[in-house]
Structure 1
Amino acid sequence: ALAGSERDPGLDLDAMQSLSHYWEGVRRQYSPFEADMRAGTSDVYNHEMPGGQYTNLREQARAIGLEHRWPEVSRAYADVNQLFGDIVKVTPTSKVVGDMALFMVANDLTPADVRNPAREIDFPESVVQLFRGELGYPADGFPKDLEARILRGAQPVEGRVGATLADVDLDAARTKAETAIGRQVTDTDLASYLMYPKVFTDFAHHRKQFGDVARIPTPAFFYGLSDLDEISVDIDKGKTLVIRQTGRSDTVDEEGKIKVFFELNGQPRAVRVAKAGIQGTGTARPLAKDGDPKQVGAPMPGMIATVSIKPGQKVKKGDALLSLEAMKMETLLTAPEDGTIAAIHVKPGETVQAKELLVELS
C-alpha cells in the first residue's frame, strides 16, 4: 500500500513469497499437531474456550487417549466453568478449567460427583492452586462449598499471593540448580530454573543425554528414517554427522522393540526402538479394584513424578502418596483412608495407564 510513496518500506515481494513457500512446507511437517478443525463451529458459545486453549486441550486429550471423547471434554469444560463460578478464562485460568475437564472425562465424573462431599477425589494440583488463590481471585470469589472441598480445610491466601513471596537468595538458588543438573548455569538458566524448576531440570537432563536435538531435520525427528534414508546433522561448525538407515529386524522382543540398523559416518551401528502398535509381553501392572479404598489406582495415563511414601509407613487419610504428571497437568494422589503402606507398585519416571494399581494399603 505504501509502495512508491515517501514511506515506501522497500519490501521485496519476491523475497516475501519465498518465505511463504518455506512456511507452507514447514506446516506440512507439523500437520499431525494441528487441532484438526475442518470448519468453523458455533460450539465456542457453549464451552467458551479461548482459541489457544482449544488447540492445547485437544492435543492434551490426544496425548492421554481421550481424543475420541473430545465432545465429552468440550461439554465438561463448560460444566467446570460453571462449577468454578463462571470465571474469566485466560492464561492460566483457562488451562486449569481444561485440566479439570480432562480429569472428569478420564474418571467418568459428573458435576454432581464433583460436588458430592462423600465422593473422595484427588483434584489436579492446578485446581488446588487456583482455589488457594495462587492465580488471584474472581471478582465474586469461588463457590464456597467447592472451595472447602478442594482445599480440604486449608485456608486460601489472603490478598495478592505475590506479596507473600519470600526474597530469593540467588547464590543459593544457583548452587541448587547446578547441583540438580551437574553443570554451571548461566543467568538465563537460573531464571528458567527459578520459574520452572522441574521443567528446566528435565530439559537439562535431556540435553545432557541427547544433545541439541533441534539440529535434527524436522521430518527425521518427528517421523524417523525409512530404510536406506540418509541425513546429515550439523552438530558444530565443520562437524557433520552422516546417518544412513540400513534396515531393521522383523523380530519383536519381550518389550515390544525391534532392532534398527544404521551407519554413523560409515560405521555400522544398531539401536532398539519400540515398534508402533506393539505391546510388550512383560508383566502387566494389575488394575485397582473399583470401590476398594485400600487400592489406589491411576486416575489417568501419565508418568509418576514423585513418590512420597515407603512400604510399612503409616499414613492418615489425605496424606500425600505420590504425584502423577500427564501433559503439563500434575495430580497429587492422597491416602483414601488411614492405614499402612502395604505395597508400592511404581517408581518415579515410570509410565502408567488409567486405573492401574499404584499403591496398596493395609
Structure 2
Amino acid sequence: AMGYTTGIDRRALADVSGYFGLLAERADKPRGQVATYDPALYEHQVPGGMISNLRSQLVAMRMEHRMPEILEEAARVRKDLGYPILVSPFAQYIITQSVLNVVQGERYKTVPDEVRKYAMGFYGRLAAAPSDEFLNRAGIRSQDLSTERAGADLEPSLPKLRRELGASATDEDLLLSTFYDRSLLEPLKAPPQAYRFSTTPLLELVRYIESRSDVRQARVKFANTEITLSA
C-alpha cells in the first residue's frame, strides 16, 4: 500500500499463515493479528512487545487515544537521554518517562530515580550526553555524574546464586537465573508440545473435520480439482 517492494513470496506466506492458523485452532489459541507497518518505529524504536503491553495498560485506563503522543514523546526522551538502546530495562525507563511527560502535561516534571541514575552513569557509560533540558529539569549537576565503573558499588552476586541453585547448576542455569525471574524459567523445563504431522495433508484435513462436531461442510479446491465434504 505504501509502494515498497520486499521480494516476499506472498503465496508461500499464505501457506505458512494457514498452517500456523490451523495449529492455533487445534490448540485453542488465539490467532495472531497482523501489525500495520509503522515508519515511526525507526524514530522511537520501542519494541513491539512493549507497545502491546503499553496499549493494554492504556486501554485499561481508558487512555488508548494518547498512544501516538506517548510514542512521539518516547523518541524525544530517547534523544534527551543520549540514545540508550531500547532493551530491558532501558526501554521501560523510556516509556515510563514518556507516559509521565504526556499525562502530567509537562516534560520531566517527575523523573523516576532509575531514569536519573541512568543519566548519571550508574549503569555504564552513555552512548551520548543527555540534553541540557533533561539535566536541568532532573536537577543533575556535572559533579553528580559517575566516573567509576558501573559495577564498582555492587556486591558480587554469582557466589550467592551458585549456593541458591546448588552444585548441579550449569553455567547456562546461572545465566538464565541472573537475567530472568524464577517463575519465567519454569515453563522452559516443560516437555515439548507434540504435534502430529502428516505427509498427506488432505487425509489429515479429513480426519480433523471428522473430529469436529461444529463443522458441517468443508470445500477443498486445488487447481482444477474441487472436493466438498458434508456431515
Contact 1:132-1:156 at 8 Å conserved across structures? yes
* Cα offset, 1:137, TM superposition: 0.8
Change (3 A) 1:104 1:159: same
Contact 1:100-1:124 at 8 Å conserved across structures? no
* Cα offset, 1:71, TM superposition: 1.4
Contact 1:49-1:94 at 8 Å conserved across structures? no
Letter in 2 for 1:174: R
Distance between the aligned counterparts of 1:216 and 1:67, measured in 2?
A: 39
Aligned-residue identity in percent: 16
Change (3 A) 1:31 1:69: farther
Alignment of 1:123-134 (within 5 A): 123=112, 125=114, 127-133=115-121, 134=123
Change (3 A) 1:99 1:64: same
Q: 1:80-102: per-residue Cα shift (whole Å, max 9, x none)?
A: 234335x2544355553233223
Structure 2 residue 162 is the aligned partner of structure 1 residue 174: yes
In structure 1, the residue matched to 2:44 is 49
Contact 2:119-2:130 at 8 Å conserved across structures? yes
Q: 1:269-298: per-residue Cα shift (whole Å, max 9, x none)?
A: xxxxxxxxxxxxxxxxxxxxxxxxxxxxxx
Change (3 A) 1:152 1:84: closer
TM-score, with length taken from structure 2:
0.52
Change (3 A) 1:78 1:203: closer
Contact 2:84-2:126 at 8 Å conserved across structures? no
Change (3 A) 1:18 1:81: closer
Equivalent residue in structure 2 for 1:79, among 54, 76, 79: 76
Letter in 1 for 2:130: F
In structure 2, the residue matched to 1:91 is 87
In structure 2, the residue matched to 1:195 is 179
Letter in 1 for 2:95: G
Paired residue secondary structure (1:175): helix
Change (3 A) 1:89 1:185: same
* Cα offset, 1:79, TM superposition: 3.1
* Cα offset, 1:142, TM superposition: 1.6
Distance between the aligned counterparts of 2:85 and 2:174, measured in 1?
A: 30
Name the Cα RMSD after superposition.
4.4
* Cα offset, 1:151, TM superposition: 7.3
In structure 2, the residue matched to 1:338 is none
Equivalent residue in structure 1 for 2:56, among 43, 50, 63: 63
In structure 2, the residue matched to 1:110 is 106
Distance between the aligned counterparts of 2:139 and 2:74, measured in 1?
A: 21
Structure 2 residue 19 is the aligned partner of structure 1 residue 22: yes
In structure 1, the residue matched to 2:213 is none
In structure 2, the residue matched to 1:158 is 147
Paired residue secondary structure (1:64): helix
Distance between the aligned counterparts of 1:62 and 1:214, measured in 2?
A: 31
Structure 2 residue 127 is the aligned partner of structure 1 residue 138: yes
Q: 1:28-74: per-residue Cα shift (whole Å, max 9, x none)?
A: 84545x4742xx444446xx033xx3422321212312433211222
Change (3 A) 1:75 1:169: closer
* Cα offset, 1:24, TM superposition: 4.5
Contact 1:80-1:100 at 8 Å conserved across structures? yes
Structure 2: 5+ residue stretches without partners? 1-13, 196-231
Greater helix share, 1 or 2? 2
Distance between the aligned counterparts of 1:108 and 1:35, measured in 2?
A: 33
* Cα offset, 1:76, TM superposition: 1.8
TM-score, with length taken from structure 1:
0.36
Letter in 2 for 1:104: N
Greater strand share, 1 or 2? 1
Change (3 A) 1:108 1:25: farther
